[in-house]
Amino acid sequence: MSTVRLAATVILARPPFEVYLARRSASAAFAPDAFVFPGGTIEAQDASEAVRARTVGLELERLNREFRAEVPQELTSDEPTVGNDAAATLMIAALRELFEEAGVLLARTAAVQPVGPRTGDWKRVTEQRDAVRSGALPFADFLAAHDWYADARALTLFSHWITPPSEPRRYNTHFFFAVAPPDQAALADASETHDGIWIAPAAALERRSSGTLHLVYPTIKHLERLARFDSVEAALEYAQRKRVLTIVPKDTADDFEIPAVLENAW
């Protein structure tokens, strides 16, 4: 049985082209004090019938199109392929974690209108976010109380990374790209994450080089891939058509690495 935990991460972007990063708690077991994209491991509630009934965009055809990762010959992986049930669970986890950690809710009303401050009591939503994050209020119950539907159609699979076997904590992580709703302001939850910032990918890499922004290897590699784009539209179009390769980086004395031939291929 695999000890690798399934996880979902969201690369949240806004025009002209900035991404949202938040600093993980100094007491976090994984990547303490590092600036990362919002995300986390799946929970039992993410696989419940109740939350699936409150989520749109989980059609089988779409899941098959999004979850298209291939294992490259240069990097092997013993992890089993993600099935349709797990794929749906990962998308729901991504939507829930984004709401919990960044306060951004990708959802629709029953009338298919985007959710935001103009479509509901946003002060109440902000208060309920803490209850969802703590587990006191299931994500499905939160959505049902507003008659809203989490929108998995807003997520585009960008990449698939698995922590190498040498690490004590291993994650099978699917990174999703999403465009932030124009009327919602991201805000770190001040519990798991702090000091949320919007920053251009190239600027984040520059700050990392100068020693003013702590980033971990997977975040660095994603920012490098994204730094070539100057608009959200271009990055989204790329995400929708790019190849997805399963990456299990090799552990080195200093950090991690992937073969040069895969640097711009995954």
Domain boundaries, the chain: 5-262
User: Rounded to an integer, what distance in angstroms lies between the CA atom of residue 144 and that of residue 2?
Assistant: 34
- The per-type count for the chain, helices as H runs and strands as E runs, is 8, 13
Under 8 Å between Cβ of 172 and 4:
yes
Confidence (pLDDT) at 30: 64
Output 80-84 pairs: Cβ under 8 A, ≥24 positions apart.
Answer: 80/2, 82/6, 82/172, 82/174, 84/60
Single-letter amino acid, residue 109: T
Closest CA to 105 of 251, 228, 113, 114: 114
pLDDT (mean) for 220-227: 98
Q: Please say if the pLDDT value at position 125 is more than 80.
A: yes
**What burial letters (b/e) apply to 247-258, b meaning 16+ CB within 10 Å?**
bbbeeeeeebeb
More confidently predicted of 183 and 188: 183
- Give the predicted TM-score (pTM) of the model: 0.95
Q: How confident is the model at residue 118 (pLDDT cuts 50, 70, 90)?
A: confident
Q: How confident is the model at residue 133 (pLDDT cuts 50, 70, 90)?
A: very high
Show Cβ contacts of residue 147 under 8 Å, excluding neighbours closer than 6 positions: 109, 110
User: Rounded to an integer, what distance in angstroms lies between the CA atom of residue 133 and that of residue 137?
Assistant: 8
More confidently predicted of 27 and 15: 15
**What burial letters (b/e) apply to 226-240, b meaning 16+ CB within 10 Å?**
bbebeebeebbebbe
pLDDT (mean) for 210-215: 96
pLDDT (mean) for 78-96: 96
Under 8 Å between Cβ of 262 and 71:
no
Q: Please say if the pLDDT value at position 84 is more than 50.
A: yes
Q: Please say if the pLDDT value at position 138 is more than 90.
A: yes
pLDDT (mean) for 195-210: 96
More confidently predicted of 119 and 43: 43
Q: Please say if the pLDDT value at position 79 is more than 50.
A: yes
CATH of segment(s) 5-262: 3.90.79.10
More confidently predicted of 266 and 185: 266
Q: Please say if the pLDDT value at position 213 is more than 60.
A: yes
Confidence (pLDDT) at 160: 98
Q: Please say if the pLDDT value at position 122 is more than 80.
A: yes
Q: How confident is the model at residue 1 (pLDDT cuts 50, 70, 90)?
A: very low
Q: Please say if the pLDDT value at position 27 is more than 70.
A: no
